[in-house]
Amino acid sequence: MRAHRKLGKKILHITAHDAGAAAIEFAILLPLLLFLFVGMVELTTALSYDRRVSKTAASIADLVARAQDVSTSINDIERAIEHQMTPFEDAAVEVRVGMVLIVNQLPEVVWGWANNTTAWTQGNEPEGITFPDTMLTTGQYYLVATANFEYTPLLGSVMSNLSEHLTGDKGNFLSIPLSDSFILRPRGVSCVEYLDNCANYPPE
C-alpha cells in the first residue's frame, strides 16, 4: 500500500510539473501566435486594398478612354471610384486622370482631373507616370490615370517601436504606399474632351 501511495504521489508530482511547464510554454508562445495571426490578417487586408487600388485605376482609365467628352460625366467617375473600392469605399484613395499630348517627344498634360488630391497642371509632365521611349511619338494623345492610397496597418506603431529598439531606426511601418497607373489610347477620338481643353491646346 505504501509503495502504491508513494508511486501515486510521484505521478501527481510529475503531472503538476508538466502542467506548469505547459502553462509557461503557452504563456511564452501566445504573444507570438497572436502576432502571427494579426500579421496574416494585416497582409490579407493590405493585398485586398492593393487589388482595389489597381482595379480603380484601370477602370477609370478605361471608362474615360471610351468616352468622347467627360465635361458632364465627372459624377459618373466619382461613383465608379466608390464602386471599385467597395468594400473600402470610405478609403481616401487619390485618383488622377487626364489627357496627355506628346510634344517634341515629351509628355504634356492637356487637362487633368483629380479626386482627393491635386490635378496635374496643364503643360507639365504628369507626375507619377513614366512613358516608354516607344510611346513618345510627337502628336500622339494618351489617356493616363493613377490611383494611390496609403494603407495604415494596425501593427505599424508596434513594428516601428520594435525596429527602433532592435536597430535604432524606426523604419517605415506606419503606412504602406499602394499605387498603380495606366496609359491608354482613346477609343473613339484622338483626345477625350474635358471643358474644351483639347480644342484649345496647345495655346497659340
Burial degree of 111 (CB within 10 A; 0-12, 13-18, 19+) = buried
Indicate whether this model's pTM tops 0.85. no
What is the number of structural domains in the chain? 1
Domain for residue 196, yes or no? no
pLDDT value of position 148:
96
C-alpha pair distances (Å), 79 with each of 175, 183, 194? 26, 21, 18
40-90 confidence digits (pLDDT tens): 888 888 899 999 999 999 999 999 999 999 999 888 899 999 999 988 877
Domain for residue 134, yes or no? yes
Domain for residue 162, yes or no? yes
Q: Would you say 124 and 110 are in contact if contact means Cβ atoms under 8 Å apart?
A: no
Q: For residues 70 and 109, give the distance between their C-alpha atoms in angstroms, rounded to a whole number.
A: 16
Domain for residue 195, yes or no? no
Domain for residue 197, yes or no? no
- Which structural domain range is residue 124 located in? 2-184
Q: For residues 7 and 18, give the distance between their C-alpha atoms in angstroms, rounded to a whole number.
A: 17
Q: Which residue has the higher pLDDT, 16 or 168?
A: 168
Sign of CA dihedral 30, 35, 38, 41: negative
Provide φ and ψ at 5, rounded to 5°. -65, -45
Average of pLDDT values for 146-160?
A: 80
pLDDT at 8 over 60: no
Domain for residue 100, yes or no? yes
pLDDT mean across residues, the chain? 84
% of the chain with per-residue pLDDT over 70: 78
pLDDT at 11 over 60: no
Domain for residue 201, yes or no? no
Domain for residue 204, yes or no? no
